[in-house]
A = this chain, B = another copy of it.
Amino acid sequence: MKTIPVLFSLLALAGVIARAAPADRPNVVIIYADDLGWGDLGCYGNPVIRTPNLDRMAAEGMRFTDFYSAAEVCTPSRAALLTGRYPLRNGMCHDQFRVLRNNSAGGLPRDEVTLPELLKGRGYSTGIVGKWHLGHLPEHLPAHHGFDAYFGMPYSNDMMPAPDAPKGRPKFYEENNAYWRTPLIRGTEIVEAQPDQRLLTRRYTEEAVKFIREKKAAPFFLYVAHSFPHVPLFASERFRGKSAAGVYGDVIEELDWSVGEILATLRTEGLDRKTLVVFSSDNGPWLIFNHHGGSAGPLREGKGSTWEGGMRVPGLAWWPGKIPAGSVQREIATTMDLFTTCAKLAGATVPADRTIDGLDISPLLFNTGPVARDAFFYYRGATLYAARLGHWKAHYITRSAYGPDQPVKHEPPQLYHLGEDVSERIDRAKENPAVLARINEAVARHRADLKPAPSQLIETVARAN
């Protein structure tokens, strides 16, 4: 009687090996826009900006209505994407210094495990094209975090204005490319001190297409982190002056073209049925830049805020033959989930020695069942401001995204029902004490498990990159 179980075990083991064989490990492409709002794409209801390629991606794949970045600004959002963890766990956030600057000493800690590191362990080629913003000093660059290849900017495209650039906020409206000196890096070397930002999206796209063509034999992980629509805004000649939405629209329409090029390359190379492509944004639209900022659609506020507009972002997933075409997914999902989900798809094991906040959302992607999610937590810097459980969202603290006002604590918290009131207009705390109690319990569970790491965003160095 013993033979059969052993045989079954051997078959099961063989099954595991077969599942882990190269043919079963999908390529993964994550395309991450910078400061793109929930309402900026046609498939999310934008009335002006033309995004036929992203709309087609949605029609051929899955569009998430409730997809979240794990942070309200750039650096922590990217740290969470690559580690599957709330930024407070790895020190990549701070209440005052909200992102890394061009004189920051810090970066993503080496002992953090990134998605490309996990995938490299499963035989993946790994590449990043575009904005890194997890530490610009040589010791923090992508090469030290699992990426074989890197071409792009170390931080935001506005972080090295030229000395003669006009000061103050209106400078961002000045579309003079000569004012901006964020460098381009290849591998670990600065290859251009003052790249022409009008060509950025095009060059990132060419680099991404080249990576796919060169790495197609093995499974690959490609992270395309666009520098736009972060201000200052630039588009190439083909797109400049073409959108009724002005330069912001030009820039989004070029990003849309870029997505089209990448998907077309996957089709041409016969990789479309072997590749999961996810499109999202690092946070909401930067509303202080008026018509140089995007739109959160019906959502309240934008980048920098823990209102929905600050952290709920576009989320598209595409994998022909696996993800049901034309599906709209209304369950909550987050950028952190991509870490866990992609690791599982590649047959990698997520680290067991630390808390991973991301969940495996394959059941949502493949429409095979629900995902057991507790609450989602909205941090502003290192402070928890709000929490969502099901359709209910409690705001413990509110504050305008970038104003001089101080945080306002709410007791009881403000409570909004995001199903009936997606714009967060009607505080219903008084009538729903039991809901608040459940959210409070979820926050307590979260905090019991939370060991904040020292912030990497404080220390500076004399040398800018």
Q: Which residues of A contact B (CB under 8 A)?
A: 39, 42, 44-48, 65-66, 243-246, 248-249, 290-291, 295-298, 328, 330, 391, 417-423, 425-426
Q: Are B66 and A417 closer than 8 Å at their CB atoms? A: no
With the chains together, A243 CA to B417 CA distance in Å? Answer: 13
With the chains together, A417 CA to B247 CA distance in Å? Answer: 13
Contacts of A46 in B (CB 8 A): 45, 298
Q: Are B42 and A328 closer than 8 Å at their CB atoms? A: yes
Q: Are B291 and A47 closer than 8 Å at their CB atoms? A: no
Whether A45 touches B330, Cβ cut-off 8 Å, given contacts A248-B420, A290-B426, A291-B421, is no
Main secondary structure of the interface of A (DSSP, over half): loop
Contacts of A47 in B (CB 8 A): 65-66, 298, 330, 422
A207 to chain B, nearest CB (A): 30
Residue of chain B at shortest CB distance from A39: B298
A170 to chain B, nearest CB (A): 13
With the chains together, A295 CA to B422 CA distance in Å? Answer: 9
Contacts of A44 in B (CB 8 A): 45
A66 to chain B, nearest CB (A): 7
Contacts of A42 in B (CB 8 A): 328
Contacts of A421 in B (CB 8 A): 290-291
A173 to chain B, nearest CB (A): 11
Contacts of A418 in B (CB 8 A): 48
Contacts of A39 in B (CB 8 A): 45, 297-298
Q: Are A290 and B249 closer than 8 Å at their CB atoms? A: no
Which of B65, B290, B298, B328 lies in contact with A295, CB distance below 8 A?
B298
Please name the 3 residue pairs, one residue from A and one from B, whose CB atoms are nearest each other, closest first: A45-B45, A244-B419, A246-B420
With the chains together, A93 CA to B330 CA distance in Å? Answer: 42
Chain B CB within 10 A, most for which of A297, A328, A426:
A297
Whether A420 touches B297, Cβ cut-off 8 Å, given contacts A44-B45, A48-B65, A48-B330, is no
A53 to chain B, nearest CB (A): 14
Q: Are B417 and A291 closer than 8 Å at their CB atoms? A: yes
With the chains together, A52 CA to B291 CA distance in Å? Answer: 33
Q: Are A426 and B391 closer than 8 Å at their CB atoms? A: no
Extra contacts, 16 of them, besides A246-B417, A291-B417, A295-B298 (Cβ < 8 A), are A45-B298, A46-B298, A47-B330, A48-B65, A48-B330, A244-B391, A244-B420, A245-B419, A245-B420, A246-B420, A248-B420, A249-B419, A249-B420, A290-B421, A291-B426, A296-B298
The 26 listed contacts between A and B (C-beta, < 8 Å) are A39-B297, A39-B298, A42-B328, A45-B46, A45-B297, A45-B298, A46-B298, A47-B65, A47-B66, A47-B422, A48-B65, A48-B330, A48-B418, A244-B419, A244-B420, A246-B419, A248-B420, A249-B419, A290-B425, A290-B426, A291-B417, A291-B421, A291-B426, A295-B298, A295-B422, A297-B297
